[in-house]
Chain A
Amino acid sequence: MDTDPALPIPISYISGSYYLFSIDAVTYLRREHHICGVLIGTLPQIPQQNVFLAMPLQLMPEEARLLVDKGVACIVDEVKAHKDGMTSIMEEDRKRYLQDLEAEGLQAMRLQNRRKEQLREEALKNLDAKKAAKASKKAAQKQDNAAGDDFALELFAGGEQAQDAGPQRPTPSETAMAVTPSTSYPPMPSRPTSDQILPSPEVPSSYPLFAHLHTKGYFLSPGLRFGCQYLAYPGDPLRFHSHFLVVSAEWDEEINLMDIIAGGRLGTGVKKGFLVGGAEQTGPGSEDSVRMFSVEWAGM
């Protein structure tokens, strides 16, 4: 289960956003690096719902940057990688890949048929057992009663047997199942070449605060739902409620005091703290540290 992906994990950069397509990478990053991202794959039949979302995973630029800075991931120009990959595939490779896919589909179909067969046999066995129990009960009754029912019973039994024989094993259709792989390698090269790697992602000025909270062990997710920049969870969001509504400001940025009051009031209303912070500019050239302040309603 714990299949760790090869590092650095390639993050696909597609038209301004950062995506992950490998489930191994997603689980690994969540488990080891507290990066959750947002699942954006929806059901093709019900594309409007957002309750059951699946791969791919979209990352905030801050998350992508953090992973690159840690050396865990690299940013890949997906369009270029795709084009390069497609041109590098030979005709034979393509054919072999298609054959592999078909073989995989056949295998899947066979497995499914075998499972169906097993279920059917089990069901039949149960039915036989039931019938035998019924018959023995009936036999006991028959000794008391007249033998008139005998014929009818046999007719019944025969009828049931005939029904059983009716849909007799449809020969497993040898059509292969359609397999849609979630990743584009093996046919494409799985590791990006150096000319497909992009520089570190551009991040908003809130990145120092983001990184600081992340190093403190918080899981951060986008904060739109609570009208803030990030939501900070003290552990995995599946297990914890968030602790803070996080808003970042620059060191000399004018803060409207009313925003602090509004944030504090909203945070208290949803049992969270309102956290405002940013990178401290102590002087030119000195290393920036992050200062932050938590705000709660005082109740008076």
Chain B
Amino acid sequence: MTSETSSPSSNPPTTPAEPSALTTLISSAAISPTTPLSAATLQVLHNLQHQHLWTSLQIHRLPLPEAPPSSSDVSYVSSTATTAFVISGVPPNRIYTHPDEQLFMLERGLRDNDIDPERTFVLPTVEGQSWSLRKMAAVFDSLPQVNEGLASLAPEGGSKGEELQSRDEKEAKIAEYLEYRNSARMTNEWGGKRLLLSMVDRNMGGDGTVVYYVVQEGAVKPRQN
């Protein structure tokens, strides 16, 4: 770093500094048209990939319904508000365990890392972005049903069987868990649709912090953390 800054001072005709890694990433990305929201999406994806070590990351476009006609500022609502981006990926560890689900697992002696992490949706947002219940509901409505969509998107786990073949008992318990989880998803017993709300801070100089919050549809009782 010091060598880079010292060389322009010794050589008066300066060259513009190299763009930051983030700028390079955003400008080289394939999402078009480039909007503030698509840039934030890339930033969050980058953060998930390199800081939180998520895998199989994908970007999905969600068509959002038009804002109500009562909204006065038409230009503001025009293009960016009608498409939202949602990232999906597989985290290295489980992100969320419903308290009842945790109890179910405890009773069977299952640990968090006995169960493969699932594909999780992440909604990128920027501080100061216009947001409302209508938009939140629209994002949730366009997510696939938990019990349908996620199964098709789930990564193929080939090695899982071999590891556990010696431990039939545990495998049976995992099978029991998975079976119950499917039925719990039909009844929303362990919570309904959920996503991670991620927020990028743009106003305070943008130190690269991304925060993540679990948002779930309906009144889902809090975890015992």
Contact = CB atoms under 8 A, between A and B. Distances in A.
Which of B133, B134, B196, B224 has the most chain A CB within a 10 Å cutoff?
B133
Contacts of A252: 67-68, 70-71, 132-134
Which of A213, A251, A268, A291 has the most chain B CB within a 10 Å cutoff?
A291
Interface in B130-148: 130-134, 136-137, 140
A258 B127 contact: yes
A135 interface: no
A290 to B, nearest CB: 10
Contacts of A276: 133
Contacts of A232: 219
Q: Name the prevailing secondary structure of the B interface residues.
A: loop
A207 to B, nearest CB: 15
A220 B90 CA distance: 38
Contact of B213 (A218, A264, A291): A264
Q: How large is the interface on A (under 10, 10 to 19, 20 to 34, 35 or more residues)?
A: 35 or more
Q: Name the prevailing secondary structure of the A interface residues.
A: mixed
B96 A298 contact: yes
B178 interface: no
Contact of A253 (B95, B132, B219, B220): B132
B221 A257 contact: no
Interface stretch (A73-81, A115-123, A150-158, A242-250): A242-250
A29 B223 CA distance: 30
Nearest to B141: A291
B213 A255 contact: no
Given A243-B221, A271-B224, A295 B130 contact: no
Interface of B: 52, 67-68, 70-71, 95-96, 125, 127-134, 136-137, 140, 196-197, 199, 211-225
